[in-house]
Structure 1
């Protein structure tokens, strides 16, 4: 039987807490998980890291660069000057610009006139005027008024036609001869003061003409030819407006 007065042994000590490695600490684990999650999200969303730069590189150059390139590619590259001789200056300028050329013009005659109304001039000569600082080649066009014939050489005199001789012809034949010159009007008159012209004077013969034969006719499109006619069965008078039957 146990002695109640015997000494009671002390209770056992509580177990000593186990020490954990630093990398298994809960706070560290949470930090690592959050960092990993942020990295994954940045890769998926194309953030500010390398992934974002890769996306930008894949997307191509900025919109401004694309606009400049498109504008540059839209400008025509000249392959050769278009033939412009014979065209009106206005049309020639438009065609040259569409082909990638600029245009300067000068009076191809000896008058040195300025081309204020580009629709009233035509191209007689075409040459090169070099290249401007902007890079577009320039065409130099020698022009004259639309109504004028081209000179034989750039800067020469305009070869206006000479008045043909139509005296002795019938009025009908004279009109055919004068037609190519381009007179504004051919006006018949009776060579006799006492004889009236018929409604159709084609068979009548030309006795006098104005302008005189051989005279240079400048700008015939503004001029009028006056032809004095005699009846087919009557001779021409010695002077215009004489009487065929004096005293009647």
Structure 2
């Protein structure tokens, strides 16, 4: 018979050593890797990694449809447009479209003001520096429409001089006066008692107004008067004489 009233309890198992994860070999490094992957994944979801994941075309450019950030910079003018020969109003519009401001001045020695841009033509253009917050400007030397440009900016206008057309036929005189561009050439009979025919081309010029050599300013507004004698008749000593005077009593 067993001397013990009951079986003795089994011996206790040795305690299991609990090791913390940060104390394990490689635990810190692994944690850092997990943290980095988590941050990268979060950025990807929020679009932060779009630049790293954007495919690139073979020529090094992003594919079509890709929006790239760029600085908002106003384009610089490529160069001043050529405005010489244009009307002032057109020149102002062309310059503005090219990114330039415009100032103007009288290119003659008269120093007139340009109240109406439609009445002026550009002869010269130069740079006028920068105005209006850095916008480049052009200075235009202009003359009135129909006037010739001076040889230099600020010089005298080279108005034409009236040529001598006396002794020519009316047809030939018209050809000689054509380049001056008078508003009108008006024929008249040099004799008070001789009517001018409908076509006076063969008639001879006896008197002219303006006189030969006279400076003609603004010929586009001027009229030339030519007094003519019929073919075969001499020119009178004065205008409006009679070709066939009445017989003396």
TM-score between both structures, scaled by the size of structure 1 = 0.70
Would the alpha carbon gap of residues 139 and 244 (structure 1) be closer, same or farther in structure 2, given more than 3 Å must change?
same
SS of the residue 1:177 aligns to: helix
SS in 2 for 1:142: strand
Please state whether the residue corresponding to 1:119 is helix, strand or coil.
helix
What residue in structure 2 maps to residue 236 of structure 1? Answer: 235
Aligned-residue offset at 1:93: 1.1
Q: CA deviation at 1:56?
A: 9.8
Taking a change above 3 Å as real, the CA distance of residues 247 and 100 of structure 1, as seen in their structure-2 partners, is same
The separation in 2 between residues aligned to 1:225 and 1:183, in whole angstroms, is 7
Q: State the match for 1:186 in structure 2.
A: 185
Query: Are 2:136 and 1:137 equivalent residues in the alignment?
Result: yes
CA distance, structure 2, for counterparts of residue 57 and residue 232 of structure 1: 101
Over aligned residues, Cα RMSD in angstroms? 2.5
Residues 80 and 229 of structure 1: is their aligned pair in 2 closer, same or farther, counting only changes over 3 Å? same
Aligned pairs for 1:22-33 within 5 A: none
CA spacing shift, 1:76–1:145, aligned 2, 3 Å:
farther
Alignment partners' CA distance in 1, 2:176 and 2:237: 24
CA distance in 2, matches of 1:147, 1:57: 68
- Post-superposition Cα deviations, 1:31-77, rounded to whole Å, max 9, x if no partner, equal xxxxxxxxxxxxxxxxxxx98x946998xxxxxxxxxx89x55x542
| Aligned-partner SS, 1:163 | coil
Residues 1-248 of structure 1: pairs in structure 2 closer than 5 A: 54=46, 75-132=74-131, 134-247=133-246
Question: Residues 208 and 57 of structure 1: is their aligned pair in 2 closer, same or farther, counting only changes over 3 Å?
Answer: farther
Can you list the C-alpha shifts for 1:160-197, whole angstroms capped at 9, x where unaligned?
Answer: 11011000000011111111111111111100111111
Deviating runs (4+, > 3 A) in structure 1?
Answer: 53-58
The structural deviation recorded for 1:116 is 1.3
In structure 2, C-alpha distance between the alignment counterparts of 1:119 and 1:246, rounded to whole Å = 54
Distance 1:141 1:224 in 2: 31
Q: CA deviation at 1:133?
A: 5.1
Residue 77 of structure 1 contacts residue 99 of structure 1 at CA under 8 Å; is this kept in 2? no
Instruction: Report if aligned partners of 1:163, 1:217 keep a CA contact under 8 Å in 2.
Output: yes
Quote the offset at 1:99 in angstroms. Answer: 1.2
Three-state SS of the structure 1 residue aligned to 2:178 is helix
What TM-score does the superposition give when structure 2 sets the normalisation length?
Answer: 0.70
Q: Distance in 2 between matches of 1:241 and 1:128?
A: 58
SS in 1 for 2:118: helix
TM-aligned CA distance change 1:131 to 1:116, over 3 Å = same
Q: Deviations over 1:173-222 (max 9, x none)?
A: 11111111111111111001111111100000000000000001111111
Q: How many residues align?
A: 190
The CA distance in 2 between the partners of 1:57 and 1:90, in whole Å, is 55
**Alpha-carbon shift at residue 91 of structure 1 (Å):** 1.0
Partners of 1:146 and 1:132 in 2: how far apart?
28
Q: CA 1:56–1:247 in 2, change beyond 3 Å: closer, same or farther?
A: farther
